[in-house]
Amino acid sequence: MKTTVKSLEGSRQLLFINGRFVAPKNGNYIASYDPTTSEPWYEFAEADAADVDDAVAAASKAFRDPAWRRMTQTDRGRLVRKLADLVLQHADELAEIETRDNGKLIKEMRAQMRSMPDSYHYFAGMADKLHGETIPVNKLDMLNFNMREPIGVVGMITPWNSPLMLLTGTLAPCLAIGNTVVIKPSEHATASTLALAELITEAGFPDGVVNVVTGTGKSAGEALTRHPRIAKYVFTGSTNTGRRIAGNAAMNLVPCSMELGGKSPHVVFGDVDIEHAVNGVVSGVFAAAGQTCVAGSRCFVEANVYDRFIDALVARTQRIRVGHPMDAETDIGPLALADQLSKVEGYVASGVKEGAKIAAGGKRPQSQDLSRGWYFEPTVMVEAQNDMAFMRDEIFGPVVGVMPFKTEEEMIELANDSNYGLASGIWTQNIDRAMRFANQIEAGTVWINTYRASSFMSANGGFKESGYGRRGGFEVMREFTRLKNIIIDYSGAMQDPFVIRLK
């Protein structure tokens, strides 16, 4: 892999179409900014409909090409494994690129990149394990079976917060099954996906199996999601964009898998060790500066321990170190975008206006060293109400609203009172209560006495406005295959051509 943080500096990044890096037809490029300094550091190509057409044509051709179509399952699995090994070999360089692009902590990105190959290996193993079934047919001398086959060209649109990790969960199974792909990474963090394209070539995937079109949602994204030759869209991003993409896809009757936003409830009962629960709540909402879809940003605490919990949460929050993401001592880096910083400030101000109080944080850090970047202090808001704007909308920043509850019924009502349904967490030593919560909560993931633990071996996804479709586990294989029903008559008997044979 040639791309490094150093080589990106001041460079112009091209599109990756049909196995080659090519310039956009319109000659346009967009600057990518370093979130720690707000300065531009490289440029990437602004693809439009003409480039997207080329990428889809390359992916369609590759899908039909015997070099891919007739590759054995074992060989396809081998290629995905080769990619896994290359990702592992370049994990630290990929991590540095992502940190520089989106401001997430280097320690977190290294951990993500070093664990990603396991995910590729897991899905590579599925290439030769996917099978259909034989079905009774209620007729003699006939064989009836279902076959699973790849669906075609998959359009993948990714966000900026964990570009490669979020891509891996769908790219790896998609390739293992034999589909081809056009990826549109976020305009706020494109570099790591282009670097991955280099590794895809190095691994030996045939040209056109994976293509990357960079650019804005308005241009490249719209062109991709209106394209008539895409078999499925996999989108990870905000709920509003998801609505727009699902609308475009519907015009061509193309199915989607949607991983969208969240406003997840995090519940604490008085029967737990408070420091332990505080640690969980901090990790749930302040990790990655709150820029995670599963952020536990609405915290409900049993009234009998509420004051004690708030004191401990505020004390812990004040010890969080905001700093440069490359520094191993840093807990919270900058937000990835200037707009994101204004959005967070706006929600904190609106919360205060609606009657909430800031118990910790609430502003940009005062340190001179951080003044050029898009930093915001981890913020605890108390006297929150579930109907305040900052408790209803996804902020995608380091802000938690906390409120007390008295009964389990009241807590469930509050927790479910949201348009979103992505994740949830509960801290209690009472297993009956934890299971009652798990049964009643409207969320695709339930964490009990932990938060943000995840496995590529289990199916994840949202309920309600957090999306539909599942990533991970065997379930994801169904997302990227279609069923074909085949009936063979081996009786040799001539049938009446005007009567359908029901028996």
Q: Are 49 and 216 in contact (CB under 8 A)?
A: no
How far apart (Å, rounded) are the C-alpha atoms in residues 252 and 254? 5
Task: Determine how many CB atoms are found less than 10 A away from the CB of residue 115.
Answer: 14
Binding window for ligand NAD (CB under 6 A); candidates: 13-21, 184-192, 203-211, 432-440: 184-192
Q: Report how far residue 333's alpha carbon sits from residue 378's, in angstroms, rounded to the nearest whole number.
A: 10
| Chain centroid to CA 364 | 27
- Catalytic choice (46, 293, 299, 302): 293
Q: Footprint of ligand NAD on residues 98-157 (CB under 6 A)? A: 157
Q: Are 388 and 414 in contact (CB under 8 A)?
A: no
Is 422 an interacting residue with respect to ligand NAD (CB under 6 A)? yes
Question: Using an 8 Å Cβ cutoff, are 128 and 77 in contact?
Answer: yes
Report helix, strand or coil for 306: helix
Is the CB of 130 or the CB of 189 nearer to ligand NAD?
Answer: 189
In the set 245, 256, 285, 341, which binds ligand NAD (CB under 6 A)? 245
CA torsion angle 247 248 254 260 (round to 10): -60
456, two tokens: 């590529």
CB nearer to ligand NAD: give 8 or 422: 422
For residue 233, state whether it binds ligand NAD (rule: CB under 6 A): no
**Which of residues 81, 100, 184, 263 is near ligand NAD by CB under 6 A?**
184
Instruction: Please give the structure tokens belonging to residue 174.
Output: 């998609």
Distance separating alpha carbons of residues 474 and 479, to the nearest angstrom: 9
- With CB under 6 A as the contact rule, which of the stretches 141-149, 216-224, 397-405, 446-454 interacts with ligand NAD? 216-224
Q: Give dist(CA 235, CA 217) in Å, integer.
A: 12
Asked if residue 261 binds ligand NAD (CB under 6 A), the reply is yes
3-state secondary structure (DSSP) of residue 181: strand
Catalytic (active site) residue 408: no
Nearer to ligand NAD, 239 or 428 (CB): 239
Is residue 293 annotated as a catalytic residue, yes or no?
Answer: yes
Given the rule CB under 6 A, which of 56-64, 237-245, 265-273, 473-481 is the region that contacts ligand NAD?
237-245
d(CA 34, CA 188): 10
Catalytic residue, candidates 98, 222, 259, 377: 259
**Residue of the chain from 32, 112, 180, 186 that contacts ligand NAD (CB under 6 A):** 186
Q: Among 75-83, 86-94, 179-187, 399-407, which window interacts with ligand NAD (CB under 6 A)?
A: 179-187
Q: Which residues are catalytic?
A: 259, 293
Residues at the site binding ligand NAD, with contacts judged by CB under 6 A:
157-161, 166, 184, 186-187, 216-217, 221-222, 225, 236-238, 241, 244-245, 259-262, 293, 394, 396, 422, 462, 467
